[in-house]
């Protein structure tokens, strides 16, 4: 299969079959790669993107809520009757409901203080209406306890009232819920927690440092199951960040050692096909839905792992439409403009050069992982492997 020269950057979802815990994922991928190579679709500088979920599943990288509760209790020295704070969790059944359950189980008979940001969580899920947000910022001084809310608010996409959901989860797991809405991260300390779990994703380090300067027992989601302790238990460099609900009482962690997985797969592809391709283990794409205002990136990074040729590389380019207008105004012919564009595309230039105006450099990891996520998605595409051609040049 030959792709004509007039085709630019393109991406193809590839089917590799069902991946189960313990599956030889590299071999499943290689079965597909061999077929792609036989069909003439594989070339040097292509990128193979593997969704993180199948990598983690093949690693059997799961933890139960009981294990998670025990880990949180140990890390924060909690236990029966204690009070634990949960700062800025996102509103997600898939991403956070089992984490909340585990936190509640770490303080039986105790209290879970949940501080939500408003009107939206960190990734854009709406917590309260814009009108109520104005009221909280106005007459309520920027903070309100959820029991003072006159009306419930259902998420406009899922239809779930997350204040009620998190209250119910905490209560059902033997603790007392206290839920407040406030954008000042230090407010949670007014409730005198014995420890705090900083539950946001992209601003976790900043908020953890802020809380830790006043309360020693403070951890982020990344600090839970983030080390290989030698016991054979599941773990990930990301801890609970990037975890998903797997079943009623089990969480799937992000993969561990994703960089190493990518590198070994690259070596295997090279050995069998002779092609030098780059590999990415991708998660959520880094883009914002303009209709819902939801920022898709609930994972800590778009790419959990990648081969060295992609890491720290940037996608740069020239502003073609600008250059076409400039050269046309100078009276250049179509053929002359095409030749000039070819020369411009290979020229070295500073990032602030006028020919690159409007083409903000972006990390290749982020661009490629986001494209792969759009192709494979989280629905029933059945293509956890994505081949990208023509976008990355070594």
Where are the chain's structural domains?
10-60+254-313+364-389, 63-252, 320-356
Tell me the helix, strand and coil percentages in the chain, rounded to 5: 35, 20, 45
Let me know: does 371 contact 285? Beta carbons within 8 Å.
yes
Q: Tokens at residue 211, please?
A: 């809380």
- Between 98 and 358, the more confident residue is 98
Q: Tokens at residue 118, please?
A: 């408003």
Helix (H, G, I), strand (E, B) or coil at 1: coil
* Lowest-confidence segment of 2-11, 240-249, 344-353, 373-382 by average pLDDT: 344-353
Q: Work out whether the CA dihedral 147, 114, 144, 88 comes out positive or negative.
A: negative
Closest to 375 (Cα-Cα) out of 384, 366, 367: 384
Our CA dihedral for 58, 60, 64, 68, rounded to 10 degrees, sits at -100
> Based on the number of CB atoms within 10 Å of its own CB, is 362 exposed (0-12), middle (13-18) or buried (19 or more)?
middle
Report angle CA 165, 97, 287 to the nearest 5 degrees.
105
pLDDT bin (cut points 50, 70, 90) of residue 356 is very low
Helix (H, G, I), strand (E, B) or coil at 145: strand
CA 191 to chain CA centroid, nearest Å: 31
The whole-number average pLDDT for the span 373-391 is 83
Q: Tokens at residue 117, please?
A: 């940001």
pTM assigned to the model: 0.87
Residue 62, φ and ψ in degrees, nearest 5: -125, 150
Per-position b or e across 33-68, b if 16+ CB within 10 A of its CB: beebbeeebbeebbbbbbbbbbbbbbbebbbbbebb
* Dist. CA 138–CA 135, nearest whole Å: 5
pLDDT at 352 over 60: no
pLDDT at 145 over 70: yes
The partner residues of 245 in beta bridges, in order of sequence, read 251
Let me know: does 57 contact 90? Beta carbons within 8 Å.
no
Report pLDDT for 326: 67
Q: Which CATH architecture has domain 10-60+254-313+364-389?
A: 2-Layer Sandwich (3.30)
Report pLDDT for 151: 75
Report pLDDT for 248: 86
The whole-number average pLDDT for the span 95-115 is 98
* Dist. CA 30–CA 268, nearest whole Å: 8
What is the DSSP secondary-structure string of 324-346? HHHHHHTT--HHHHHHHHHHHHH
Let me know: does 250 contact 239? Beta carbons within 8 Å.
no
């Amino acid at each position: 299969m030959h792709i004509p020269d007039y085709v630019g950057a393109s991406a193809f979802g590839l089917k590799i079959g069902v991946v189960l815990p313990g599956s030889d994922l590299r071999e499943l991928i290689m079965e597909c790669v061999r077929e792609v190579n036989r069909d003439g679709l594989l070339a040097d500088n292509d990128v193979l993107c593997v969704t993180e979920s199948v990598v983690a599943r093949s690693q059997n990288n799961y933890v139960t809520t009981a294990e998670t509760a025990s880990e949180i209790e140990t890390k924060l020295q909690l236990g029966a009757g204690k009070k634990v704070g949960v700062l800025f969790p996102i509103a997600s059944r898939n991403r956070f409901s089992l984490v909340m359950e585990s936190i509640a189980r770490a303080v039986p008979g105790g209290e879970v203080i949940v501080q939500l940001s408003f009107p939206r969580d960190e990734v854009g899920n709406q917590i309260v209406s814009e009108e109520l947000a104005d009221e909280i910022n106005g007459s309520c001084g920027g903070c309100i306890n959820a029991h003072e809310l006159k009306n419930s608010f259902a998420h406009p996409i899922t239809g779930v009232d997350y204040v009620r959901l998190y209250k119910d989860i905490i209560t059902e797991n033997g603790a007392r819920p206290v839920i407040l809405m406030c954008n000042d991260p230090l407010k949670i300390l007014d409730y005198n927690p014995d420890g705090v779990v900083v539950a946001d994703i992209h601003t976790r380090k900043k908020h953890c440092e802020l809380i830790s300067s006043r309360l020693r027992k403070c951890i982020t989601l990344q600090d839970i199951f983030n080390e290989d302790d030698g016991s054979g238990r599941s773990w990930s460099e990301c801890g609970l960040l990037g975890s998903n609900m797997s079943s009623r009482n089990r969480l799937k962690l992000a993969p561990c050692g994703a960089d190493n997985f990518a590198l070994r797969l690259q070596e295997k592809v090279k050995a069998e096909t002779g092609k030098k391709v780059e590999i990415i283990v991708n998660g959520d794409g880094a883009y914002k839905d303009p209709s819902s205002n939801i920022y898709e990136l609930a994972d800590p990074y778009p790419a959990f792992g990648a081969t060295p040729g992609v890491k720290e590389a940037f996608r740069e380019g020239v502003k073609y439409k600008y250059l076409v207008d400039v050269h046309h105004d100078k009276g250049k012919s179509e053929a002359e403009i095409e030749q000039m564009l070819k020369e411009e595309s290979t020229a070295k230039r500073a990032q602030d050069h006028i020919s690159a105006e409007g083409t903000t450099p972006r990390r290749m990891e982020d661009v490629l992982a986001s494209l792969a996520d759009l192709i494979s998605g989280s629905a029933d595409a059945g293509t956890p492997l994505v081949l990208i051609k023509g976008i990355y040049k070594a």
